[in-house]
Copies of this chain bind each other. A is one copy, B any other.
Amino acid sequence: MSPEEIQKNLRRYINISLEEAEQFLSLFETVRYKNRKVVVESGDYCRYFFLVEEGCLMTYYTDGNGFEHVLQFATHMWWSGDLPSLMNNVPSAYSIKAIGDTSLLQISKPNLDRLYRELPKFERYYRIIFQNALVAHQRRIIQNIAYTAEERYLQFREAYPQVELLVPQKYIASYLGITPEFLSKIRRRLSNRK
Inter-chain contacts of A123 with B (CB < 8 A)? 120, 123-124, 127
Inter-chain contacts of A120 with B (CB < 8 A)? 120, 123-124
Measured in the bound complex, the distance between the Cα atoms of B67 and A139 in whole Å is 16
Chain A interface, DSSP helix/strand/loop, else mixed: helix
Q: Is A142 an interface residue (CB 8 A)?
A: yes
B146 adjacent to A144 (CB under 8 Å):
no
Inter-chain contacts of A61 with B (CB < 8 A)? 142, 146
Interface string of A125-156 (1 = CB under 8 A from B): 01100110111011011101111000000000
Kindly report how many copies of this chain are found in the complex they form together: 2
Inter-chain contacts of A147 with B (CB < 8 A)? 63
Interface string of A71-99 (1 = CB under 8 A from B): 11000000000011001000000000000
From B124, B126, B134, B145, give the contact of A83 (CB < 8 A). B134
Interface string of A149-188 (1 = CB under 8 A from B): 0000000000000000000000000101100000000000
Nearest CB in chain B to that of A176: its residue: B145
Q: A83-B134, A130-B131 are in contact. Are A63 and B146 (CB under 8 A)?
A: yes
Measured in the bound complex, the distance between the Cα atoms of B94 and A135 in whole Å is 12
Inter-chain contacts of A174 with B (CB < 8 A)? 145
Nearest CB in chain B to that of A145: its residue: B177
Measured in the bound complex, the distance between the Cα atoms of B84 and A137 in whole Å is 13
Inter-chain contacts of A131 with B (CB < 8 A)? 83, 87, 126, 130
| 10 A-B residue pairs with CB within 8 Å | A63-B146, A69-B142, A69-B146, A84-B135, A116-B124, A120-B120, A130-B130, A134-B134, A137-B137, A145-B176
Nearest CB in chain B to that of A177: its residue: B145
Least CB distance, A125 to chain B, in whole angstroms: 9
Measured in the bound complex, the distance between the Cα atoms of B138 and A63 in whole Å is 15
A177 adjacent to B144 (CB under 8 Å):
yes
Nearest CB in chain B to that of A83: its residue: B135
